[in-house]
């Protein structure tokens, strides 16, 4: 078992927090880190703003911070390289997402992430502390050649070393009703595994084109939208035959719940084939429904978790089927998800959005008897 510590800072620290800084643009990295750049550009971190993410756009369209306050408070995590981040985070200002502002378009940018020096813990959400030295990036390479473009700081940053540089944005987010709407268990339970080792695996191809290396760290951030196939090895699916039916066991070996965002819905689909006749058994649904007054509600209105059937971190879930299997039967098992709960599509005006409504296959298994 492996633990890590969050450094608790006094909020008075000199260069604290939530301030807009100037960052080199993603485009600047392309010439020397072309593979990493291409992976990143296709990831949700490069597409984390309303004009590039239809789901965020739909939620933002209904959000009171948009309609009443006209302030993209979400920028703290969604557009942290914005040059007007201060305004986005000041309750007396207005600051909407601006498609014509190139610093908004940077998303969770290369330089931003590589300048996270430390992380302050707060109740509502954590805060990243950004280093003051522009063009000096934290890294983890054991040895490296000099970069003609930027400095490299390998010492003194425990967060990038222990793979927890992500928890400034990912650990939790509490709404005004003190409900944690999105929470990642940040105690990594699996020996040696952490956010980075699971979500940023080593893949073929050089780190830069100035110094040939066999592999680099994948910057496409495997997750619920993209590259989930890289993560399916952390979720085992097995089938055990019983007298009057069978049981499917889902063993989630990751440290956090299978899906984290409350919009998601995971589904287990099971089809039994007997002498070429297919029987589709009842879908098993895994969701976390937030609500108010007993009714499902949007995350900013909700004050309670109405229902949580999501498979938790390190949980082994068994689902029983009272369908007696016979010799010669085959069972096809599919675990996957909808990025947006089908019941919320209409409310969000996402009925026509393919990304939101399509069933995303995570893992398929075939069993024969
Ligand atoms: C403390 C950091 C933080 C803040 C502040 C924040 N978010 Fe997020 N948001 C995240 C993270 C991290 C994810 C990815 C979660 C996941 O995939 O499980 C995310 C994902 C989302 C998604 C899902 C997008 C998709 O493509 O599926 C929506 C919608 C969203 N956020 C809306 C908002 C809105 C609206 C605000 C502001 C009112 C906001 N968020 C503020 C961290 C934050
Ligand atoms: C002119 C070429 C060049 C440009 C432009 C460039 N880099 Fe680098 N970078 C390098 C070289 C060379 C290395 C060292 C590679 C090695 O040793 O294999 C490196 C290494 C790194 C490392 C790894 C440090 C470590 O020790 O782990 C990071 C992080 C990094 N660069 C970030 C960036 C970012 C962010 C940008 C864009 C804002 C960028 N680089 C632009 C050449 C460049
Ligand atoms: C500055 C805040 C921030 C930091 C730091 C950050 N993330 Fe994210 N991350 C986000 C937001 C916001 C989203 C959701 C973007 C969206 O869907 O619009 C996200 C989305 C993701 C996703 C979902 C991708 C998908 O396909 O659905 C993964 C996986 C992820 N981040 C992993 C990481 C890892 C690993 C780290 C640390 C190396 C990290 N993040 C650091 C803010 C951050
Ligand atoms: C043992 C491997 C493992 C570790 C450690 C791990 N994850 Fe995951 N993560 C997964 C798996 C498996 C999934 C589900 C498959 C998917 O979304 O593609 C997932 C999904 C996610 C998602 C998408 C959830 C959604 O609803 O959109 C985010 C975001 C994420 N992880 C962030 C993190 C962060 C941040 C950390 C570190 C605190 C972390 N993960 C640690 C394996 C891991
Ligand atoms: C969400 C945070 C995040 C973003 C965004 C990000 N990186 Fe990284 N990057 C990391 C982490 C964490 C590591 C260390 C991986 C490890 O220890 O295995 C890393 C490693 C690297 C390395 C070291 C070499 C390697 O492959 O291990 C380079 C170079 C690099 N990043 C460049 C970039 C560039 C260029 C971009 C944008 C195109 C970028 N990074 C965007 C988090 C990020």
Sorted by where each begins, the domain ranges of the chain are 27-46+108-217, 228-368
Which has the minimum average pLDDT: 47-56, 91-100, 116-125, 238-247?
116-125
C-beta neighbour count of 133 within 10 angstroms: 12
Q: Which residues contact residue 367 at a Cβ distance below 8 angstroms, ignoring those fewer than 6 apart?
A: 239, 330, 331, 333
Residue 6: per-residue pLDDT: 40
Q: What is the pLDDT of residue 156?
A: 65
Mean pLDDT along residues 133-152? 90
Mean pLDDT of 27-37: 98
Say whether pLDDT at 337 is over 50.
yes
Q: What is the DSSP pairing of strand 116-120 with strand 304-308?
A: unpaired
Taking CA atoms, 212 is separated from 33, 40, 140, 341, in Å, by 11, 20, 17, 45
pLDDT mean over 91-99: 95
For ligand 1, mutation pick of 44, 76, 77 (most atoms within 8 Å of CB): 77
Which residue, by CA, sits nearest to atom 28 of ligand 4?
223
Q: Which ligand has the shortest distance to the CA of 209?
A: 2
pLDDT tens track for 265-314:
999 999 999 999 999 999 999 999 999 999 999 999 999 999 999 999 99
What is the mean pLDDT of the segment spanning 33-52?
Answer: 98
Question: What is the CATH class of 228-368?
Answer: mainly beta
Mean pLDDT of 110-139: 93
By most ligand atoms within 8 Å of CB, the mutation choice from 47, 106, 217 for ligand 5 is: 217
Predicted confidence at residue 164, as pLDDT, reads: 79
194 lines ligand 4 (CB under 6 A): yes
Model confidence, pTM = 0.95
Q: What is the Cα–Cα distance from 12 to 240, expressed in whole angstroms?
A: 57
Asked if 291 and 181 touch (Cβ cutoff 8 Å), the reply is no
Read off the pLDDT band of 186 (50, 70, 90). low
Quick one: CA dihedral 121, 122, 123, 124, positive or negative? negative
Looking at the predicted structure, is the pLDDT value of residue 113 above 60?
A: yes
Q: What percent of the chain has pLDDT over 90?
A: 81
CA nearest neighbour of 331 among 263, 261, 252, 237: 237
Nearest CA to ligand 3 atom 41: 166
Ranges 52-56, 128-132, 138-142, 260-264: which has the least confidence: 138-142
Q: Which of 149, 155, 213 to mutate to test the pocket of ligand 2 (most atoms within 8 A of CB)?
A: 149
Question: In whole angstroms, what is the distance from residue 214 CA to residue 126 CA?
Answer: 36
The protein residue whose alpha carbon is closest to atom 10 in ligand 4 is 254
pLDDT tier for residue 339 given thresholds of 50, 70 and 90: very high
Indicate if ligand 4 lies below 6 Å from the C-beta of 74. no
Mean pLDDT in the chain?
A: 91
**Pairing outcome for strands 136-138 and 151-153:** parallel
Query: For residue 146, is pLDDT > 50?
Result: yes
Residue 54: nearest ligand to its CA? Answer: 1
Residues with CB under 6 A from ligand 2: 24, 28-29, 31-33, 110-111, 114, 137, 139-141, 144-145, 147-150, 152, 154, 207-208, 210-211, 213
Find out whether the beta carbon of 260 lies less than 6 Å from any atom of ligand 4.
yes
Q: Say if residue 173's pLDDT is above 80.
A: yes
State the ligand closest to the CA atom of 50.
3
**In this predicted model, what pLDDT tens digit does every residue of 320-331 receive, in sequence order?**
999 999 999 999
Residue with CA at minimum distance from ligand 2 atom 16: 144
Residue 350 to residues 53, 58, 106, Cα–Cα distance (Å): 12, 7, 25
Residue 303 CB–ligand 1 contact under 6 Å = no
Closest ligand to 63 CA? 1
Q: How far is CA 14 from the centre of its chain?
A: 30
pLDDT beyond 90 at 349: yes
Q: Which of 234, 229, 109 is nearest to 169 (CA)?
A: 109
Listed range (13-22, 171-180, 203-212, 340-349) with the worst mean pLDDT: 13-22
Which of ligand 4's atoms lies nearest the C-alpha of 163?
A: 37
Instruction: Supply the DSSP symbol for 346.
Output: T
Ligand 5 pocket, residue 23 CB under 6 Å: no
SS3 350: coil
**How confident is the model at residue 183, as a pLDDT?**
73
Give residue 348 CA to ligand 5 midpoint distance, Å: 34
Ligand 4: nearest atom to the Cα of 222: 18
Provide the pLDDT confidence category of residue 7 given band limits of 50, 70 and 90: very low
**Does residue 232 line the site of ligand 4, with CB under 6 A?**
no
Report residue 154's pLDDT band, with 50, 70 and 90 as the boundaries.
confident
pLDDT of residue 263 exceeding 70, the answer is yes
Residue 151's pLDDT is what? 93
CB 56 within 8 A of CB 75: no
């Amino acid at each position: 078992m492996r633990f890590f510590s969050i450094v608790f800072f006094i909020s008075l620290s000199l260069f604290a927090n939530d301030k807009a800084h100037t960052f080199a643009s993603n485009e600047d990295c392309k010439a020397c880190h072309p593979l990493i750049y291409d992976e990143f550009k296709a990831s949700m971190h490069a597409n984390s703003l309303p004009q590039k993410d239809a789901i965020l756009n739909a939620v933002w369209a209904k959000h009171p911070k948009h309609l009443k306050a006209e302030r993209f408070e979400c920028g703290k995590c969604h557009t942290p390289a914005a040059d007007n981040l201060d305004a986005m985070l000041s309750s007396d200002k207005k600051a909407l997402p601006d498609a014509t502002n190139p610093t908004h378009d940077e998303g969770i940018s290369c330089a931003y992430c590589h300048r996270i020096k430390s992380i302050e813990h707060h109740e509502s959400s954590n805060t990243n502390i950004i280093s003051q030295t522009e063009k000096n990036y934290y890294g983890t390479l054991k040895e490296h050649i000099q970069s003609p473009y930027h400095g490299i700081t390998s010492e003194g940053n425990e967060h990038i070393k222990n793979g927890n540089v992500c928890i400034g944005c990912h650990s939790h987010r509490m709404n005004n009703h003190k409900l944690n709407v999105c929470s990642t268990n940040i105690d990594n339970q699996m020996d040696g595994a952490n956010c980075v080792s699971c979500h940023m695996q080593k893949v073929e191809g050089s780190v830069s084109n100035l110094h040939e290396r066999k592999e680099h760290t994948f910057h496409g951030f495997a997750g619920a939208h993209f590259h989930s196939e890289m993560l399916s090895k952390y979720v085992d699916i097995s089938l055990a035959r019983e007298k009057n039916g069978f049981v499917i066991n889902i063993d989630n070996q990751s440290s956090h719940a299978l899906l984290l965002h409350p919009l998601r819905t995971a589904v287990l689909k099971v089809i039994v084939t007997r002498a070429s006749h297919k029987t589709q058994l009842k879908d098993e649904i895994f969701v976390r429904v937030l609500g108010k007054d007993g009714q499902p509600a949007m995350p900013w209105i909700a004050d309670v978790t109405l229902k949580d059937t999501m498979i938790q971190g390190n949980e082994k879930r068994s689902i029983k089927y009272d369908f007696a299997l016979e010799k010669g039967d085959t069972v096809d098992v599919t675990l996957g998800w909808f990025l947006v709960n089908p019941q919320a599509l209409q409310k969000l005006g996402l009925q026509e959005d393919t990304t939101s409504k399509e069933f995303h296959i995570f893992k398929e298994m075939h069993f024969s008897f």
